[in-house]
Structure 1
Amino acid sequence: MESSSDTFGKDDSADAKLQESRVVTEEEWLQKWETNNIGFHNEQGHPLLKKYMDIFLDGRSGLKIFFPLCGKTIEMKWLADMGHQVVGVEISESALKDFFTEQKLSFSEEPIPGIPGKLLKSTTGNISLYCCSIFDFTSTITGKFDAIWDRGSLVAVNPCDRERLVTIAEIYALLMLRATLRPPFYVPDSEVKRLFGKSCDITCLEKVDGLAERPKKWGLDYFWEVLYMLVLK
């Protein structure tokens, strides 16, 4: 492992600035799920979480783990099967229902007190997925978390909303791992430092060249995936 340093070049930082005014609307995200345009979903689960699972859990059991913008990521099932309590937030109801269907889990539905949306909860009680805006979700709904696994919410939210997302993360998390990807919004190492440096100790665990066939189909010339561990100071 290495301490976080700027692993991106000047051209990458310039590329990030070009995207600052770009906005992806909630309707566009919902449309992606409705049309199954979800190239960002990894059907095999995230290999970096498997690789660094021991660091993420740090020998702890029975954790309450948060998945922001969870989609239907199967890592939620992994951690629930290990005995942890999983809480996810996702705006797309179809994504959450797909998760339960594909993982062969029965679930119930109920309203979320105080905010628009609904809670989809496994009948086993250890997976609670909230269908609502991440920015409506507060600590009064679920309390604090022991850890966050965030595969890509920082690159999924619009750049203008990053500060709000960070505030949510800092309220909830004692430990988080965050993987930043190339699309849809580029997040250089310097941006991670800017957003989290004052409140968290940041370690870059690994940087992976992920330019496989799927990213090439998106028209990308390069695709870097970076895994950070962030621990509140």
Structure 2
Amino acid sequence: MKFTFRENGRLLEKYLDVLLSGRSGLRIFFPLCGKAVDMKRLADLGHSIVGVDISEQALKEFFADQGLPYCEEPVPGIAGAKKLQVGFLRCQMSVLKCPQTYISFDGVWDRGALVAVNPCDRPRLVNSLSIQKFVSSLISFTISFPGPPFYVPESEVKSLFGNHCEIKLLEKVSDFSERHRRWGLDYFLEVLYILKFVA
């Protein structure tokens, strides 16, 4: 069973002002970005976007779907990783192997990375995000079945991020559809948090 996280950008659109806080020209990170259309939306607003994923095919499909030509080059210091770039938008492979000195961001939009990785890899993923001392981050979790996507309870959100972030639950919304019913699910919730780094 294949699950696609990024089917629409309604939550980002609804809370865009919360993430941006009136700021312009931000550098925003999309971990495990896949084909997230939200990247193009923010790039069109003049923000610098870096998306990272393990699937080269997904990244190439994103550029093809958006009708964007791109240049391709290797990523220094990461064997086998590639960078696909056009204008303010850059995508590369492998989020868990990014050198800590490589990334510095003003914000993060996680539309499914934390629920996609194996639970044992969550601390590594969180470390790759939290070291950036981002000003704000919108993180959306899916609550459903054993996974992937994997359930991330609020207690674990606090455990993973609570030492260096203020955490606020923004919204819980049912995303249940007939497709989920066919999968044997009784409910499908999306939970959105805003995290703000505190020194």
Counterparts of 1:41 and 1:53 in 2: how far apart (Å)? 16
- For each residue in 1:157-195, what CA deviation from the matched residue of structure 2 results, as whole angstroms up to 9, or x when unmatched? 100011111111111222111000024210111111111
Are 2:131 and 1:171 equivalent residues in the alignment?
A: yes
| Mean CA deviation greater in 146-155 or 212-221 | 212-221
Counterparts of 1:68 and 1:57 in 2: how far apart (Å)? 18
Counterparts of 1:190 and 1:114 in 2: how far apart (Å)? 36
What amino acid does structure 1 have at the position aligned with 2:19? F
Question: What is residue 68 of structure 1 aligned with on the other side?
Answer: 31
1:209 Cα deviation from its structure 2 partner: 1.4
Give the alignment of 1:40-189 within 5 angstroms: 40-42=5-7, 45-116=8-79, 117-122=81-86, 125-131=87-93, 133-141=94-102, 143-172=103-132, 173-182=134-143, 183-184=147-148, 185-189=150-154
1:38 Cα deviation from its structure 2 partner: 4.3
What amino acid does structure 2 have at the position aligned with 1:196? F
Counterparts of 2:53 and 2:167 in 1: how far apart (Å)? 26
Are 2:159 and 1:194 equivalent residues in the alignment?
A: yes
Contact 1:39 1:214 in 2 (8 A): no
Tell me which structure has the larger Cα radius of gyration. Answer: 1
Question: What is residue 21 of structure 1 aligned with on the other side?
Answer: none
| Mean CA deviation greater in 214-223 or 147-156 | 214-223
What amino acid does structure 2 have at the position aligned with 1:161? D
Are 2:176 and 1:214 equivalent residues in the alignment?
A: no
Sort the Cα spacing of 1:179 and 1:88 in 2 relative to 1 into closer, same or farther, 3 A: same
Q: Which runs of 5+ in 1 are unaligned?
A: 1-31
Counterparts of 1:60 and 1:214 in 2: how far apart (Å)? 38
Contact 2:6 2:111 in 1 (8 A): no
What amino acid does structure 2 have at the position aligned with 1:118? K
Counterparts of 2:99 and 2:185 in 1: how far apart (Å)? 36
Q: Percent identity between the aligned chains?
A: 53
What amino acid does structure 2 have at the position aligned with 1:163? P
> CA RMSD, aligned part only?
1.3
1:40 Cα deviation from its structure 2 partner: 3.0
Counterparts of 1:113 and 1:223 in 2: how far apart (Å)? 40
Q: Which runs of 5+ in 2 are unaligned?
A: none
Question: What is residue 7 of structure 1 aligned with on the other side?
Answer: none
What amino acid does structure 2 have at the position aligned with 1:113? P
Contact 1:177 1:229 in 2 (8 A): yes
Contact 1:67 1:89 in 2 (8 A): yes
- For each residue in 1:103-155, what CA deviation from the matched residue of structure 2 results, as whole angstroms up to 9, or x when unmatched? 00000100000102100011xx2111012x211112433x4100000011110
Which structure's residues are more often helix, by fraction? 1
- Superposed structure 1 runs of 4+ greater than 4 Å apart: none
